């Protein structure tokens, strides 16, 4: 059963945020050493995105990670990056209907994911 094997939305969100935090620490450490390492505008998400590339295999997990990306961007752009994440979501939806993706998700987790998707105008 999918729900026994998959990582839940809360864990995906929490671990990605932790990785963003670590990316910011890496940037600050590099600055302290005299090299910027990451672009000045980097908020840690680029670092986390790189670390999480290809981590999740289940379509629902990939959907959740894309939603987390877009929520953290909070419509601040860059537009091409936002378009990339929206396109990845559209690819997932083209292969798997939303009802199928969320069928094994608990009530609270489903509400949280759907609420975030509504904020992003994905629904």
Handedness of CA 34, 35, 41, 45 (dihedral sign): negative
Distance CA 105, CA 123 (A): 17
Predicted TM-score (pTM) of the model is: 0.87
Distance CA 80, CA 86 (A): 10
Give Cβ neighbours of residue 65 (< 8 Å, ≥ 6 apart).
Answer: 12, 16, 52, 55, 56
Report the candidate in 49, 51, 79 with the shortest Cα–Cα distance to residue 66.
49
pLDDT in tens, the chain (123 residues): 344 588 999 999 999 999 999 988 888 888 888 876 656 556 788 889 989 999 999 999 999 999 999 999 988 878 998 999 999 999 999 999 999 999 999 999 999 999 999 999 999
Distance CA 81, CA 87 (A): 10
């Amino acid at each position: 059963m999918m729900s026994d094997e998959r990582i839940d939305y809360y864990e995906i969100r929490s671990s990605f945020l932790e990785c963003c935090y670590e990316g910011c620490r890496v940037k600050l450490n590099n600055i302290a050493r005299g090299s910027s390492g990451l672009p000045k505008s980097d908020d840690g998400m680029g670092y986390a995105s790189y670390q999480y590339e290809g981590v999740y295999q289940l379509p629902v997990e990939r959907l959740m990670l894309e939603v987390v990306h877009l929520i953290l961007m909070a419509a601040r752009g860059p537009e091409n990056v936002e378009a990339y994440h929206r396109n990845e979501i559209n690819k997932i939806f083209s292969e798997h209907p939303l009802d199928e993706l969320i069928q094994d998700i608990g009530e609270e987790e489903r509400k949280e994911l759907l609420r975030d998707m509504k904020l992003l105008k994905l629904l």
